[in-house]
Structure 1
């Protein structure tokens, strides 16, 4: 088999195409220099405006709205009251102290017992007091006996004086009769002149003696009456001293001074009690009062006689303020209240009772809910939320009375506006707030 080779024509071989003949130079178009500068300036202005809009302004703070409590200003009736947390205490409490010290020999009642007036509670012993009382009693009795002896002597002296007056009066009467018998006889010469003169002298003597005896008795009577009055006063004083000594001795027998319930009584047999030591107290049964602490803000508004309402169970009880203690301690002053009518049943000493103290009659007013903002501002200003809810501005206001629920608005706000009533902690020094709808910013 033969192969036929065809002749190759190198001249007809195709040549590579470069395409250089088809390329064309395109001229680049550039923006005018003025336009470039204007665009750059516009971009800078836009960036500045964006920074100004997003950057926090002086006196302004961004805060999430969901962290705040916002309430609307509205018209309503303001009830001028303050809530009280009262404590039940006995209306009358009588303390029992050991008048004289001694050793406890016997305890007759237990703590919490109901006592009658004069009922024995405990018996004490004090040998030294008993001996001194007996010695005092003996001394007083001796002095009383001496005074009685002096009174007897004065009485005897009075009897002797009376007898002397009677004897002088009798002698005067006899001398007078003798003189009367002898006078007519002497005038006719039947009685010697010397005898009649002796009779006259005797009559004059008896008259003078009677006058002296009467004057002496009168003087003695005055002195005796004065002395007797002094002795009787001394006797009464000694008797009182003796009764006091006996009372001190009897004070070793402790008794209930009033009727009521015994509390705080915890003495034991063998215990030594000093003079004046507190051993317990007696509370009035079934009669209680209420004690409460009130914020010092209301010191000038609470008065004696104001009424308080107490809801216990299904009944409402009324009480009134009876005492105000103006001393302020820890930001509060104390008041006492007594029930106007029957008190709630089963009240216990120390029990806590909720009450509402009315300060004045209800009245229409512009109100905002009471909140913690008041403690931060003192009621001088608040943050008012803008209508769109995106910002809040500080505004000076004048607030009046407040209760547990509302604060009375006197000036600076109108009905329908919204204010922040939650605490202003962290932004109280700001003038404006940016309220965001997200979380903390």
Structure 2
């Protein structure tokens, strides 16, 4: 191994070269302290402004447009109607109850049979009721016989009074003739004064007796008329009581009160029925009505006589509101719809049909598509999308009528504006929405 020595460079004169002649001094430039402070303040303000702009506000919220339904306000014709789902029921239903309890001896018809008015449907037996009716009948018959005897006695008394008056009239007539004859003879002295005096007294007596008898007969006639009227009233009451007892006995023979189709009838021979027990019903034949539930919001706008349209099998049938049940249950009230004219064929009891109830005539209006937002705002305000589409601002509005398709706008919105019509759940308390795609 050999070692090489490196010698330092030397100039021609033989002196060593240091390199110091190639170096130069560079001066450093620094900002003044006041500029640094000012720049720091500006940067801090910019950062605060950016944070304030980007941070969510208490009355604002970021919402993705994908979860929203945005509808456009337009001008059109508002059809004032509400859709209904109606159930077919018989126009008239008569319930069958056992007027008197008893044991079922015979069933004459089956459930679903078509009945005529008065047709027997079942036979009952009730020994206790039958004995009670017989006892009542005997009692009423005895009382009627007693009253007939009283009427007969009154009639005989009246005849006796009339006979007495006739005899009194005859005696007065005879006494009057005797008095007239003796008066002429007594004036000539052919009749003794004592005899004529007796004749005069007899004539006066008979005349007064007839007057008294007539006065007594008038009094008796008034009393007898009153008694006879009371007896006849009692007799009629007893006869009505007897007829009622017989009707109760006849009620053991169950009959159809009206013509129609029997349903819900399932009694069996040997079954014991209690008084008032429901045994079935009779539905009116060939005539039906519809029962529909309506949102309580429309309770003040529905009246009897309003027209409705029923869609069955691709055809429309006219109907009208025949009855309103104002009691509200589960947010709905009930109403009856009755067909006007012909009814749809082959509809069955319990079948559901689609109906449209007309509340008013069609009219031009500013319209907003109906949406779930109405349930949360009540139509008092909406979120209106800004022209750029990046924001939605809460705005107070005034809405009028509504149906399932659209809502009538009275004030606060113009045609062409866009409104969020989906539910406002989660941001209903905000004043502004930032819409993000």
Judge same fold: TM > 0.5, yes or no: yes
Alpha-carbon displacement from aligned partner over 1:240-269 (angstroms, at most 9, x marks no partner):
111111111111111111111222222222
Q: Does 1:246 align with 2:282?
A: no
Do the aligned partners of residues 265 and 18 (structure 1) sit closer, same or farther apart at CA in structure 2, a change above 3 Å counting? Answer: farther
Query: Which whole-Å CA distance do the structure 2 matches of 1:350 and 1:107 have between them?
Result: 27
Q: Does 1:266 align with 2:266?
A: yes
Q: Does 1:383 align with 2:398?
A: no
- Could you tell me the TM-score, scaled by structure 2's length? 0.89
What is the CA distance between 1:276 and its match in structure 2?
Answer: 1.9
Do the aligned partners of residues 67 and 268 (structure 1) sit closer, same or farther apart at CA in structure 2, a change above 3 Å counting? Answer: same
What is the CA distance between 1:145 and its match in structure 2?
Answer: 0.6
Query: Which whole-Å CA distance do the structure 1 matches of 2:222 and 2:96 have between them?
Result: 50
Structure-2 residue corresponding to 1:75: 75
SS in 2 for 1:201: helix
- Could you tell me the TM-score, scaled by structure 1's length? 0.88
Query: Which whole-Å CA distance do the structure 1 matches of 2:7 and 2:344 have between them?
Result: 119
Alpha-carbon displacement from aligned partner over 1:313-353 (angstroms, at most 9, x marks no partner):
23222222222232222222222222222222223222222
Do the aligned partners of residues 161 and 432 (structure 1) sit closer, same or farther apart at CA in structure 2, a change above 3 Å counting? Answer: same
Structure-1 residue corresponding to 2:149: 149
Alpha-carbon displacement from aligned partner over 1:112-147 (angstroms, at most 9, x marks no partner):
222111111222222111111111110000000111
Query: Which whole-Å CA distance do the structure 1 matches of 2:267 and 2:97 have between them?
Result: 12
What is the CA distance between 1:37 and its match in structure 2?
Answer: 7.5
- Where do residues 172-191 of structure 1 align in structure 2 (5 Å cutoff)? 172-191=172-191
Structure-1 residue corresponding to 2:58: 58
Query: Which whole-Å CA distance do the structure 2 matches of 1:412 and 1:25 have between them?
Result: 81
SS in 1 for 2:208: helix
Of the structure 1 ranges 165-174 and 224-233, higher mean CA displacement relative to structure 2 is found in: 165-174
Q: Does 1:426 align with 2:410?
A: no
Alpha-carbon displacement from aligned partner over 1:186-245 (angstroms, at most 9, x marks no partner):
333333333333222222222222222232322222222221111111111110111111
Structure-2 residue corresponding to 1:105: 105
Query: Which whole-Å CA distance do the structure 2 matches of 1:360 and 1:413 have between them?
Result: 23
SS in 1 for 2:336: strand
Structure-1 residue corresponding to 2:396: 396
Do the aligned partners of residues 30 and 116 (structure 1) sit closer, same or farther apart at CA in structure 2, a change above 3 Å counting? Answer: farther
- Where do residues 264-413 of structure 1 align in structure 2 (5 Å cutoff)? 264-413=264-413
Any gaps of 5 or more consecutive residues in structure 1?
Answer: 1-9
* Aligned positions, number: 426
Structure-2 residue corresponding to 1:415: 415
Aligned-residue RMSD, C-alpha? 2.7
Do the aligned partners of residues 114 and 409 (structure 1) sit closer, same or farther apart at CA in structure 2, a change above 3 Å counting? Answer: same
Structure-2 residue corresponding to 1:3: none
